[in-house]
Amino acid sequence: MTDHLWSGRFEQAPDTDVFGFQASFSFDRRLFEDDIRGSLAWAGALADAGVMSSEEAQIVTDGLNDILNRGLADRSFVTGDDEDVHAFVERQLVERVGDAGKRLHTGRSRNDQVSLDLRLYVRRQVHCLQSLTLELISALVDQANAAGSTLMPAYTHLRRAQPILVAHFFLAHIAALKRDYQRFDVVREEADAMPLGSGAIAGSGYAVDTERLASRLGFSRVVSNSVDAVADRDFVSSFLHTCALLMVHLSRVAEDLVLFTGEEFAFFELADVVTTGSSLMPQKKNPDALELVRGKAGRTIGGLAGWLATMKGLPSGYNKDLQQDKEAVFDAEDTVSASLPAVTAVVHNLVLSRKQTESAASGLLLATDVADYLVSRGMPFRDAHSVVGRLVRRLLGEGRDFESLSLEEWRAVNPLFGDDILKRVTAQAAVKARLTPQSTNPEAVGAMLEECQEWLALARSRVTVEA
Ligand code: ARG
């Protein structure tokens, strides 16, 4: 009978299918590196606590390092019939160093071990996802810079609303992505609690210096309750939520670009290198990458919802249901880490069609500015809204827009219109007339863009230092 970590208690070997069903090695092998780093630190802690001699700890350390190096050099080494990655590492260790290896699991359970591994893993991956987020932000910043003073329409209800700078449009998506970046910081902070010493549930029976162990593993604190610790996956929920929300934001970038690069808008041209053709219709140039990102957002949202349903109503302490955490984390991570570079490539290769965006940015969407003009001449806004509303209705009927009105016609609409109205009712004047810091006023946008570039440089240097 194959020996498992727990075989002593059993008369019969487990059914092959059932064992295979509950085993996790096929996916938790991704925790290989973290499992070994955790075990290296645990060996040190056991030696410090006098549970293992320092000679034995050294033998275990050498053995673990050998396994780590083999696994890092060749991922296919990390395979076997083992139940999970913890069993794999222990088997490899005992094969190498014998009895000393059998002492490593003293005072530890796979319950606190797997929590540690996943916390270490999430901490590393959050870092990678943040780097990828910064790359996309950087591509959007480049587009915002390149757009200069170019105007485009902004939409509410997907109807032309008011003119804005193209840079302002890009900065809007940047604002959401910056929040995602910061949300990953919160995930890291949540994962930053060292669970070893919790044992299976009641705490370890050996006086291990958990503070020291935490700092050895780069954690800033130790968990506060062993019962909570072996079943706390809040950091997983937060990670999945952050990934899902990031994907929601990516799907909105994707949707905007699907629309704005289509024939009807034609504000931007999609580069050949980020599109695909149709097998039937020779003229087609499809934004598949963007559509897939939009679609995959649904998958990530489903991952979060599924995981929360798994957690709901679990009794206290470790339950095997928790093993679902890993596939959820890996899937969200894979989805986000594939989607971010795809969107970055699309954004990086976008070509702005200035003529198209600017011609769409003038016309009746200047109605608010006409109303504001009347307000500047003393008319209450509600009355101005109504005067301009009637004018719009008339112009629509005549197939004209504001620019075609002569001064006499303006005055006939309302004597408050002076000869400066012609200058005031342009898209350029409209953006300049927006006055708040978050507005599309060119100076405000310039300041935001500058601030964003500084933020990006700082975030990048932080990501590099922590790598
Ligand atoms: N593969 C398990 C998991 O991912 C490891 C912990 C197993 N603990 C246990 N008591 N069976 O959750």
% pLDDT > 90, the chain: 91
**Are the C-beta atoms of residues 333 and 129 closer than 8 Å to each other?**
yes
End-to-end CA gap in the chain: 44
322 C-alpha to center of ligand 1: Å?
8
Model pTM score: 0.95
Cα(217) to centroid of ligand 1, in Å? 21
Burial label for 161, CB within 10 Å (0-12, 13-18, 19+), is middle
Length of the chain, in residues: 467
Which residues on adjacent β-strands are paired with residue 268? 352
**CA gap 169, 426 in Å, rounded:** 19
Ligand 1 centroid to residue 24 C-alpha, Å: 8
Specify whether the CB–CB gap between 280 and 272 falls below 8 A: no
pLDDT of residue 294: 98
pLDDT in tens, 25-53: 999 999 999 999 999 999 999 999 999 99
pLDDT at 2 over 80: no
Q: Which ligand 1 atom minimizes the distance to the CA of 23?
A: 1
Question: What CA–CA distance (Å, rounded) separates 436 from 444?
Answer: 8
Pocket test of ligand 1: the residue of 24, 86, 236 to mutate, having most ligand atoms within 8 Å of its CB, is: 24
**Atom 2 (ligand 1): residue with closest C-alpha?**
323
- Which uninterrupted H or E stretch holds 200? none
Position 1 pLDDT exceeds 60: no
State which ligand 1 atom lies nearest to the alpha carbon of 325: 4
Ligand 1 pocket (Cβ < 6 Å) reads 24, 28, 84, 110-111, 114, 318, 320, 322-323
| Closest ligand 1 atom, residue 322 Cα | 12
- What value does the CA radius of gyration of the chain take, rounded to a whole number of Å? 30
Atom nearest to 320 CA in ligand 1: 12
Lowest mean pLDDT among 11-20, 354-363, 430-439: 11-20
Q: Which mutation among 22, 27, 84 tests ligand 1's pocket best, with the greatest number of atoms within 8 A of CB? A: 84
Task: Please state, in angstroms and as integers, the Cα–Cα distance from residue 417 to each residue in 368, 405, 412, 432, following that order.
Answer: 15, 12, 9, 20
Q: How far apart are CA 392 and CA 251, in angstroms?
A: 35
Mean pLDDT to the nearest integer, 313-326: 98
Residues 6+ apart with CB under 8 A from 32: 71, 78, 85, 88, 89
The whole-angstrom separation of Cα 7 and Cα 13 is 8
Q: How many CB atoms lie within 10 A of CB 280?
A: 6
Task: Tell me the one-letter amino acid at 138.
Answer: S
Choosing from 29, 114, 201, 233 the residue with most ligand 1 atoms within 8 A of its CB, the one to mutate for a pocket test is: 114
**Active site positions, annotated:** 157, 278
CA dihedral 450, 452, 456, 457 (to 10 degrees): 20
Determine the Cα–Cα distance for residues 276 and 286; give it in Å rounded to an integer: 5
Give the burial class of 337: count Cβ atoms within 10 A of its Cβ; 0-12 exposed, 13-18 middle, 19 or more buried: middle
- Which pLDDT value is given to residue 467? 63
Cβ 182 vs Cβ 462: under 8 Å: no
